[in-house]
């Protein structure tokens, strides 16, 4: 049975899992990505849907373009609403025109390219009439989102690489589940399916990048996860992000420090954990 045309490969309770279909799912995935981001989908002044789309494309676009085999979504079977997704990659080194680079470095470069597609670039090409018109449209789009929204998204473009933690070579994933559907085992089923795609002795560990802060989802949430009494995750790298202003941190009760972390788990132990949880 194939899920490439939107068929469910798993139906459990009131949800089903299927392969991501770009034309059908992109906007829903982007909105879920934005709504789950700290501090939880603050709307942009004039075009909130467009702002969510741009943010989501920067985060999930590299996977949607180059790692589709590991991109799966969850739907509410009653309403058809997309309620979760997992994007992932094998994370091996890639051969490029500049030589061999890590998946994380290459992924970040693709995210930057997507941001340029959304908001424009600074180059002599803007003097070419047709190209300059296109860049002007992008600029007006960015301005229409409002000053803080544009600042927020441009921060993603220019600072994301510095503020994203390093990853070890190997598989990694990014996961989101709608807040109203958590605790049903959806995330565990998505992770389990991803891990079973990676069967093989070369995939000994799996990484996940998460954002933590003192007063929302703290690091303790991940430290409490264990298998056989031993912690499941270890910290590989951590970077503080300055994407939120001090005023936003106070107003949205984030705490003084917001960090992006890369966490690493043994693949077999993570599979044991999610199988138990699902």
Read off the pLDDT of residues 34-84 as tens digits, 9 standing for 90 and up. Answer: 999 887 676 655 566 777 888 899 999 999 999 999 999 999 999 999 999
Residue 173's nearest CA partner among 107, 100, 256, 253 is 107
Residue 96: its pLDDT value, please?
Answer: 80
Q: What share of the chain is helix, strand, coil (3-state, %, to 5)?
A: 45, 25, 30
Domains, in order of start, for the chain: 8-277 (3.40.630.30)
Task: Give residue 146's pLDDT band: very low, low, confident or very high (50, 70, 90).
Answer: confident
Burial of 106-127, coded b for 16+ CB within 10 Å and e otherwise, reads: bbbeebbbbbeebbbeeeeeee
Q: Helix (H, G, I), strand (E, B), or coil: what is residue 204? A: coil
Taking the C-alpha atoms of residue 66 and residue 23, their distance in angstroms, rounded to an integer, is 15
Position 5 pLDDT exceeds 80: no
Can you tell me the mean pLDDT for 164-179?
93
SS3 163: helix
State the chain's mean pLDDT as an integer.
Answer: 86
For 99-221, where are the E strands, in sequence order? 99-101, 172-177, 205-213
**pTM for the full predicted model:** 0.88
Please give the Cα distance from 131 to 136 (Å, whole number): 9
């Amino acid at each position: 049975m194939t899920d490439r045309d939107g068929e469910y490969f798993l139906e459990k309770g009131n949800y089903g899992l299927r392969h991501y279909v770009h034309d059908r799912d992109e906007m829903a995935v982007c909105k879920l990505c934005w709504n789950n981001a700290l501090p939880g989908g603050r709307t942009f002044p004039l075009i909130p849907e467009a702002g969510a789309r741009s943010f989501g494309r920067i985060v999930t676009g590299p996977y949607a373009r180059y790692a589709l085999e590991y991109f799966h979504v969850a739907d509410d079977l009653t309403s058809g609403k997309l309620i979760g997704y997992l994007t992932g990659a094998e994370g091996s080194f890639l051969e490029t025109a500049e030589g061999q680079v890590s998946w994380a470095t290459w992924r970040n470069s693709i995210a930057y390219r997507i941001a340029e597609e959304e908001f424009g670039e600074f180059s002599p090409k803007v003097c070419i009439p047709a190209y300059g018109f296109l860049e002007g449209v992008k600029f007006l789009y960015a301005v229409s989102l409002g000053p803080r929204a544009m600042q927020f998204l441009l921060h993603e473009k220019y600072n994301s690489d510095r503020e994203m933690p390093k990853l070890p070579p190997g598989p990694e994933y990014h996961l989101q589940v709608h807040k109203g559907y958590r605790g049903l085992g959806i995330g565990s089923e998505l992770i389990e399916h991803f891990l079973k795609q990676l069967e093989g002795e070369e995939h000994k560990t799996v990484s996940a990048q998460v954002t933590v802060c003192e007063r929302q989802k703290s690091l303790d949430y991940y430290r409490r996860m264990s298998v056989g009494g031993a912690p499941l995750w270890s910290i590989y790298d951590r970077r503080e992000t300055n994407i939120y202003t001090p005023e936003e941190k106070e107003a949205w009760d984030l705490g003084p420090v917001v960090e992006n972390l890369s966490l690493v788990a043994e693949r077999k132990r993570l599979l044991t954990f999610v199988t138990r949880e699902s």
